[in-house]
Amino acid sequence: MDKQTRWPAWPLALLVLASPVQAAPRTEVVARGLEHPWAVAFIDDGRMLVTERPGRLRLVNANGQLGKPLAGLPRIDAGGQGGLLDLVTDSGFARNRTLYFCYAEPATSGYGNSTALASARLSDDASRLEQVKVLFSQQPKFSSRAHFGCRIVEAGGTLFLTLGDRFQRMADAQTLDNHHGKVVRVRKDGGIPPDNPFVGRAGARPEIWSLGHRNVQGAALGPDGRLWTHEHGPQGGDELNRPEAGKNYGWPVITYGENYGGGPVGAGLTRKAGMEQPLWQWTPSIAPSGMAFVRGTRYGKAWQGSLLLGSLKFRHLLRLELDGTRVLREEKLLTGLGQRVRDVREGPDGFVYLLTDEDDGQLLRLLPG
């Protein structure tokens, strides 16, 4: 371990536990020709919807054929890291055809953008979005092409949305009068859940669930029914967290990373009273994106309950073995893939699907070894 690598204080034995040996998984291409795809969601009859960051929503048929871009999307400010980003289907999609998506929303006047969350109905012929409604718009708007966050998780009658700090506004992550560097929680109609932790506090945005985040690009409900996330650190210090109501995850006051080019962030602290430690961290950075828990049996018993996440930087897939909230082991998979892994989802068929963030991006199915 080099001198820049710092780990949470887990017992060393936890880092060397091994799983039963099994053959390495492989991939097969489901669809290709996607321009910087960002998220995949499953609908009916083996079909999927895929977002492309430049601002398109595409239907992928069961045979992998790409449909024309769907009509009905709102205005999207595509550029840099912004564009059309995450997408999930409602738990009642088979009945209501409702989906939720987030995107870089341009200001209606002047300059600036921010992350917005919207709901829509997928038309019966799956050619367009209907009844589009903006449920949440990050405030304030700011002219930036970076750190939109933008992962969505449904939890009961509510939606969690992860929000980046917009890069140049990192200090905002520690204050409650804005949505930068936060996880927020709203009802499916855009209303405020009355049990959100800052409801009624003067000067606080009532949508806020947790604060002190940098750029959260992975989120999922765990087997424990709780929200799990991972986020990009600066140069080092990517984090795995389980955000809890009202808690502060430290950015930019504490971090295991450093400034780009070297040098401490702020006072160079890794711990401070009142701020949460990550469950796991990566130094050097892996640039994580996408996240899914393995619930099915396609990959054998050893994989059940594992957490899978993609690495944009190292172009592979990671599997974390967990014991509750403790990481027992990290395994690198698909190390020869050679493509940036942007999204990771478990499909209704029990297979894991990946999206690669490339000019000619692919939708991949992960096959057991």
Report the alpha-carbon distance of residue 285 to residue 265 in Å, rounded: 15
Report the alpha-carbon distance of residue 351 to residue 298 in Å, rounded: 6
Q: DSSP secondary-structure letter at 172?
A: G
Residue from 36, 147, 179, 213 carrying the catalytic annotation: 147
Q: Determine how β-strand 352-356 pairs with β-strand 361-367.
A: antiparallel
Q: Cis peptide before 252, with omega less than 30 degrees from 0?
A: yes
Residues in Cβ contact with 305 at an 8 Å cutoff, skipping those fewer than 6 apart: 223, 293, 294, 295, 322
Report the alpha-carbon distance of residue 13 to residue 196 in Å, rounded: 38
Task: Classify 262 as helix, strand or coil.
Answer: coil
Q: What are phi and psi of 92, to 5 degrees?
A: -100, 25
Return the closest-CA partner of residue 93 out of 141, 126, 57, 55: 126
Task: Classify 95 as helix, strand or coil.
Answer: helix
Report the alpha-carbon distance of residue 347 to residue 353 in Å, rounded: 7
| 147 in active site | yes
Number of alpha carbons in the 13 Å side-chain half-sphere of residue 350: 9
The catalytic site residues sit at 147
